[in-house]
Structure 1
């Protein structure tokens, strides 16, 4: 039995992440969550498309909760962040890829951060989307250094910081320019 496991492990290490298939339930769930229900496997602009997936939880949860609406937004975003750390860690350690582009739960969580406290109008969603993608792609300091954190935390942290940068700009635009 051990020899078969060693052989399977050697075969997995020689494959690219795209060729590898999750072989246990935990890995399959982590892969499904980390790829945004497999949206990250779309070969063109997975990060951008993954960010678009973030619109759905925002549209579903952002106006719920009455007087606890802001807390609702914070806790939903925190849940996605924590699930993202777990799922990303499983995927990174299983497929031996430090920050795979098909993992998009980090973009979903970062975009959600950028919208905390803002009404999900099409203008706010669009402005936050554009700003978030700019910060996520360019990674101005200190965003880049957060990628160096270990495993799933490193995958998630840089996008959370990009979301915070976006949130700051959104706050200025909404508070001072009435957008």
Structure 2
């Protein structure tokens, strides 16, 4: 369970294990998108959420800290959600996923911003103090990041071009 919770021990990298977890999620998302497109990324995200929830429950049971910094499977799930517009947009437009590189950059940067800042619902989920809260705050941060990426893409394609 420790391997899953730490995303195969990436969570033990210092400093900023959450950022390392988010960075490690990027090439895996790229590979998933190449192998099976958006739908494979979606399925992998759902599977990672369920496994992450179970692993987080297992490794934090009876511990004082409900969210140790080395648990980064939540960042992986959130980062993948932040990349949903990239995967879906590339498939919809019939282009290679690397061509949507601005979405990769904004997806990463805004996910990290929302995960660290913890605005509104992100902070509320984080304050739950349980394994579900550990996972949900990053899910919500990923959704917020995806929304920002969609808005920025709409602005870039509708107004700037």
User: Counterpart of 1:89?
Assistant: 57
Match of 1:154 among 126, 133, 147: 133
Structure number with higher helix proportion: 2
User: Counterpart of 1:39?
Assistant: 10
Contact 1:116/1:167 (CA < 8 Å) preserved in 2?
yes
Contact 1:128/1:170 (CA < 8 Å) preserved in 2?
yes
TM score, norm. by length of structure 1: 0.75
Over the aligned positions, Cα root-mean-square deviation in angstroms equals: 1.8
TM score, norm. by length of structure 2: 0.83
Alignment length (residue pairs): 147
Do structure 1's residue 98 and structure 2's residue 66 form an aligned pair? yes
* 1:121-160 correspondence runs (5 A): 121=98, 122-149=101-128, 151-160=130-139
Question: Residues of 1 paired with 2:116 and 2:24: CA distance?
Answer: 17
Question: Residues of 1 paired with 2:62 and 2:56: CA distance?
Answer: 10
List runs of 5+ in structure 2 lacking aligned partners.
88-96
Question: Residues of 1 paired with 2:13 and 2:28: CA distance?
Answer: 20
Question: Residues of 2 paired with 1:82 and 1:150: CA distance?
Answer: 18
Match of 1:80 among 43, 48, 51: 48
